[in-house]
Structure 1
Amino acid sequence: MRKTLTGFLSAVLALGLGTLSLTAEPLPYPHKVVTLVTHSSPGGGSDLLLRQLSKYLGKYIGATFVVENVHGGSGAKAMARVAAAPADGSVFYAATPTYIHTSLLSKPSVTYKDLEPLANLFADSEVIYTRADGPLTSLKDVIDRAKKERVRWGASNPTSLESQAAERLKRAAGVDATLVTHEGGGEIMLNVLNGTFDIGIGEIQEIRSQLDAGKIRLLATFNPQRIPEKPDVPTVKESGYDVTVVKFRGLAGPKGLPDNVTKLWDEAIKNVLADPDYKARYTEEVLVPNYIPHAQYQAFITHFADTTEAFLKETGAVK
């Protein structure tokens, strides 16, 4: 199942980045202001991504971009906000695996099926980290400690990919660590730094400041391969636990987006991903460009959801 999903992701990646080009002027857009909605709290992965992306989108789309944080229900409220908006290109949602997991596990009134996938931008690296001045120096240390005493691990909301990765790691390692969740990555990092959590699971951009300051230590990545920018960090699988996850980051809107809007975004996303200044920024954040155009994105999301649902049924999380 994991090999199938990883292979599908790689195939679409090869398709998507084949014809990048830059435009000289922003493309005319039917709205002066575009709202980018995220369920993430300030400082969370999606919040940081949207705020950074917004700085560059204006070079390629003739509009002003604003980020709106809609908390609650592990993404359910944000999905409802976007689904109720006009399908005219004025409002989009930061789509991540969370909106799939929330839909399958919580069964909200509005699910991922009520939104239209627009396009994908990145594949993200999920990492396991701890405080640099703590006693844990490897994933083996983490698991050994969890086998001897009661420990607490931190991850984002209960229906996130991070939480699912933690549960899968617990299962693979045969440990019963207590998983504590928060809506934002910032709270998790603070609890790791003060010793409340042994480890946190999240994206590198959420912990970048403390990582650069030498206060955070990376222990492993859930990626299928090592992170090129962090070659000394082993994968979870290399560490002896057969768990890999791939996190997508894209945009979705209300159902019924017009063709002129989706085609414009297809062109703009290719261009913004090729922008040298933005490329330097997202490379620093260990984001891998993974452009999936509108025509292929629905199939990708459906495949991801079907694969995720099969796993959740296998583990008894859903019936």
Structure 2
Amino acid sequence: MLTRRHFIGTAIAATIALPGLALAEPAAYPHKVVTLVTHSSPGGGSDVFLREMSKYLSKYIGATFIIENVQGGSGAKAIARVASAPANGSVFYATTPTYIYTSLLSQPTNTYKDLDPLVNFFADSEVIYTRTDGPFKTLAEVIDHARKTRGRWGAANPASLERQAAEQLKRAAGVNAAIVTHEGGGDLMLNTLNGTLDIGIGEIQELRSQLDANKIRLLATFNPQRIPDKPDVPTVRESGFDVALVKFRGLAGPKGIPADVTAIWDDAVQKVLADPDYKKAYSAEVLVPNFIAHKDYPAFVNDFATRTEAFLKETGAIK
């Protein structure tokens, strides 16, 4: 069953204080309404990204943006929804590593190869967290516990970068922790808070409310370097385990997006990432701008898919 949630971006037309000068008009766009599809449940990482970004995007693209949550199959239904849409710039999908993993692990009817990568916005930090009132203060303590009693670790869904991060950490640490996957971040958080899981792996924007309430503790980040806004959180590598991963966040559409549409997005994404108000918002969520233009984004996605497929074959997840 499709769950449809709408968020309508607000187009802005205003005059600044200097007489005779006005803010630039949004770029003319061939569609009045653009649907942004995500496999994420409401409140999940991609859902939060799209809803927040849409608030500012209408300053630069003359359209109303609607968010559509299409859950099921670890992203398979959302991929199919977009792959079958008109290739005219009216429907896009929120790309993350999940749509690569789903394509490789479950062999759905439509895969990432049936979508045309449009543009990338961000690199997103993956972190390891645990409950504040729990027994673990460091990642080393979690690993030591896993050596003694196996342990239970949580990831958002079976086809995700979080799952790969957990698998790579297991291998690097030489432990056999049970990895419990979930369809969404809400259940994962609940099981981490109630002690069912030793740790969860997720994104800071999904964890914000629990972090602010001091309910969870960040143990490490999979980023190659420490997160600028979280300088006290060590990297997994600094903690003694040679694993580094970064999540990408962008958009893709049906095959054959017109060149005039991709040009509008290339220009608008650079402007929205430089928007001072949006910069404050995404910096608070520890998102790092990582603009990749349309001409380069397909190669980036294909390279990620190739490396992911090699890892999955190496670990026996696929043949």
TM-score (norm 1): 0.91
**Secondary structure in 2 matching 1:235:** coil
Q: Which has the higher contact order (CA 8 A, sep 6+)?
A: 1
- 1:212 Cα deviation (Å)? 1.2
Match of 1:282 in 2: 282
**Secondary structure in 2 matching 1:295:** coil
C-alpha separation in 2, matches of 1:186 and 1:25: 39
Match of 2:174 in 1: 174
Please say if 1:84 is aligned against 2:84. Answer: yes
Match of 1:186 in 2: 186
Match of 2:157 in 1: 157
Structure with bigger helix share is 1
Match of 1:20 in 2: none
Note the alpha carbon deviations across 1:267-319, whole angstroms, 9 max, x for none: 11001000000000100100000000001101111111111111112222222
What is the number of residues matched between the two proteins? 297
C-alpha separation in 2, matches of 1:91 and 1:183: 24
Runs of 4+ aligned structure 1 residues displaced above 2 Å come to: none
Match of 1:12 in 2: none
Please say if 1:45 is aligned against 2:45. Answer: yes
Note the alpha carbon deviations across 1:81-108, whole angstroms, 9 max, x for none: 0000000111100000111111111111
Please say if 1:221 is aligned against 2:221. Answer: yes
Amino acid aligned to 1:109: T
C-alpha separation in 2, matches of 1:148 and 1:291: 44
* Percent identical: 75
Q: Is the 8 A contact 1:43 1:184 kept in 2?
A: no
Match of 2:8 in 1: none
C-alpha separation in 1, matches of 2:53 and 2:43: 14
Name the Cα RMSD after superposition.
1.0
TM-score (norm 2): 0.91
Amino acid aligned to 1:74: S
Structure 2 residues not aligned, in runs of 5+? 1-22
**Secondary structure in 1 matching 2:299:** helix
Note the alpha carbon deviations across 1:24-69, whole angstroms, 9 max, x for none: 2111111111111000111111011011011111111111111111
**Secondary structure in 1 matching 2:295:** helix
- The equivalences for 1:262-277 within 5 A come to 262-277=262-277
Structure 1 residues not aligned, in runs of 5+? 1-22
**Secondary structure in 1 matching 2:128:** strand
**Secondary structure in 2 matching 1:288:** strand
Amino acid aligned to 1:164: Q
**Secondary structure in 2 matching 1:218:** strand
Q: Is the 8 A contact 2:150 2:175 kept in 1?
A: no
Match of 2:59 in 1: 59
